[in-house]
Amino acid sequence: MWERLRSGLGYAAIYGINLLFVVKYAPRYGIPWSAGTLAYACAFCAILWVCRRRFFVRFFQQPSAYFAALFLTAAVLAFLMFQFDPTTRNARAPAINDWLARFLNGEYPYGSGTRPSGFPFLFVLALPFYLPGEVGWWQIVSFIVIGFLFYHARHSTAPGKIALLLFSPAFLYEVAVRSELFSNMVVVMLYLWIFERFACDRTPGRMLVLGLLGGLVLSTRGVVLIVYAVYFVYSFRRDMQTGLIFAFGVLASFAATILPFVVWDVGRFLRHGPLAIQTKNLPTPWIAVMLLLAVSSGVCVRSKIGVWEMVTALLFGSVTVSFILTLLQVGWSAAVWQDKFDISYFCFALSFLLAISAPSRRSFCEIFR
């Protein structure tokens, strides 16, 4: 019964995140939010029903069918992406473009009007897509990457997960406006997959290299620290010496990406840098509570499934707390319809919720056996 309850909570969180996007954006396209809510409820239930049908699973779990559908769908998403102007809905793509343009021209990249909020390595990841002229390709590549991760976990559940993702208004919004929040967390998931594949032999050299790579991933957004606090406290709780080597690598590469910008202009970095912007939506005491919960969870959980569940709960919980605090301050209308709160922050948890909840909560964790 407890298993079903936890799975149900995962589905409810996925539904709730997407429902917020329906309620907010349906009226902008002439659809009453009540009608949009009803339509999405029906669509969500229909997708869950189809995902559990044998004919659907048997056909799409075949590698040829699955990856053909995955790449074809990626092409359709790319076509749809180019039908929208990202500058009219979201500032993240312009912020990435502005940061990279200023940096490549030798100008200090933080503190411009676009208010870029990521740590430096976020923009390094975006650079291969910026140079051809479209950072939105990162979202398309991330869709393919998460499709691979789902399929690697379990062939039979991957099609259902991808189907839920494709019918997710939150994800489609990310694609349309070229926001990288979902893609940022896909990078984190990919790194954890790499860690588990190469961490079986915990030699100091290998742990240092994996730590250095982890520090680069941490140098995207501060929310990654919540994932790390649970995941790696659990991974090294019985091997502190190896954990310290790994942690040294993480801190070394993270500092190597941050310090040049601190030295370049410490004043602007402190006033307009990623720490100033990323801590704006959640008060410092709440951040401390979330990190304490993350570390405690890493110590207390007893399985990798528990780790993934706690990571997901804390990612979702941290954004929910920020959302509730905003609601209490300005009310629903201002927070949601007047953009006083950016609901796309819920996309931090979306990929993890899909991994553990849809349509089988255990399947994704099997790649970490």
Tens digits of residue pLDDT in 51-63: 888 888 888 889 9
Has residue 221 got a pLDDT over 90?
A: yes
Q: How confident is the model at residue 369 (pLDDT cuts 50, 70, 90)?
A: very low
CB 250 within 8 A of CB 211: yes
Going by C-alpha positions, the residue among 156, 229, 160, 154 that lies closest to residue 188 is 229
pLDDT range class, residue 277, cuts 50, 70, 90: confident
Integer CA distances (angstroms), 318 to 28, 310, 323, in order? 28, 12, 9
pLDDT digits (tens, 9 = 90+) for 280-324: 777 778 888 999 999 999 999 988 888 999 999 999 999 999 999
d(C-alpha 317, C-alpha 154), whole Å: 27
Return the minimum-mean-pLDDT range out of 35-49, 105-119, 326-340, 350-364: 350-364
CA separation for the pair 359, 362 (Å, rounded): 9
The DSSP-derived string for 1-48 is -HHHHHHHHHHHHHHHHHHHHHHHHGGGGT--HHHHHHHHHHHHHHHH
- Name the pLDDT band for 14 (thresholds 50, 70, 90): very high
pLDDT of residue 283: 74
Percent of the chain whose pLDDT exceeds 70: 94
Helices 120-130 and 240-264: crossing angle, nearest 10°? 70
Q: Is the pLDDT of residue 224 over 50?
A: yes
Q: What pLDDT shows up at residue 361?
A: 43
Number of domains into which the chain is organized: 1
Name the pLDDT band for 88 (thresholds 50, 70, 90). low
Reply yes or no on whether the pLDDT at 181 is more than 90. yes
> What mean pLDDT comes out for the span 67-73?
96
State residue 218's pLDDT score: 97
Dist CA 40 CA 254 (whole Å): 41
Tell me what the mean pLDDT of segment 69-81 comes to: 96
In which band, very low, low, confident or very high, does the pLDDT at 3 lie, cut at 50, 70 and 90? Answer: low
**Alpha carbons 334 and 190: distance in angstroms, whole number:** 36
The mean of the pLDDT values for the chain is 89
Q: Which domain holds residue 351?
A: 2-368
- Are 272 and 110 contacting, i.e. CB atoms less than 8 angstroms apart? yes
pLDDT-based confidence at 96, cuts 50/70/90? very high
pLDDT > 60? residue 364: no
pLDDT at 360: 45
Secondary structure class of 189 (helix, strand, coil):
helix
pLDDT of residue 366: 47
pLDDT over threshold 60, residue 363: no
Token pair, residue 85, equals 């102007």
Condensed to tens digits (0 to 9), the pLDDT of residues 158-175 reads: 998 999 999 999 999 999
pLDDT of residue 9: 78
